[in-house]
Amino acid sequence: MMMFSVGDRVRIKDSHPPGHRRTPYYVRGKTGVVERYCGDFKNPEELAYGFDGTPKRELYRVRITQTELWPDYEGSDSDTLDLEIYDHWLEKIGE
C-alpha cells in the first residue's frame, strides 16, 4: 500500500544526516504536492555504502513552486520544479 497519493500535500523533511543523500539541501523543509508515484526501488542511500538497499522504498515525483524554493523568484507564480523523492524523506501535510 502506497504511503502517499497523487495530490497529497507533503513537506520534505528538514534533515541533515551525514553521508551520501539523494535529497538536495535546497528542497529540505519545503512543501509541495505529490504529482505521481514512480514505483518501489532499492534505497540508493544504502546502495551507496555497499548495502543491499532493502527494504525497497517508494519513490514519488513532488511538484514544488519556484516561489516556495526561492523567495526572491521573479518568474511566474505557476513555475514549478518536479523532483523525485523517496518516501522516507516525505511528511504528509494535513488533510
CATH assignment at residue 76: 2.30.30.50
DSSP assignment letter at 27: G
Q: How far apart are the first and last CA of the chain?
A: 18
Q: Count the domains in the chain.
A: 1
pLDDT at 86 over 70: yes
Q: Is position 3 within any domain?
A: no
Q: What is the pTM of this model?
A: 0.91
Q: Is position 66 within any domain?
A: yes
Q: Is position 2 within any domain?
A: no
**58 is in which domain, residue-wise?**
9-92
Q: Which of 31, 94, 37, 28 is nearest to 64 (CA)?
A: 31
E-assigned strand segments in the chain: 9-12, 31-41, 57-65, 80-86, 90-92
Q: Is position 80 within any domain?
A: yes
Contact assessment for residue 64 and residue 78, using Cβ atoms and an 8 Å cutoff = no
Give me the chain's average pLDDT, please: 93
- Taking only the tens place, the pLDDT of each residue in 46-85 is 998 899 999 999 999 999 999 999 989 999 999 999 999 9
Q: How confident is the model at residue 21 (pLDDT cuts 50, 70, 90)?
A: confident
Q: Is position 70 within any domain?
A: yes
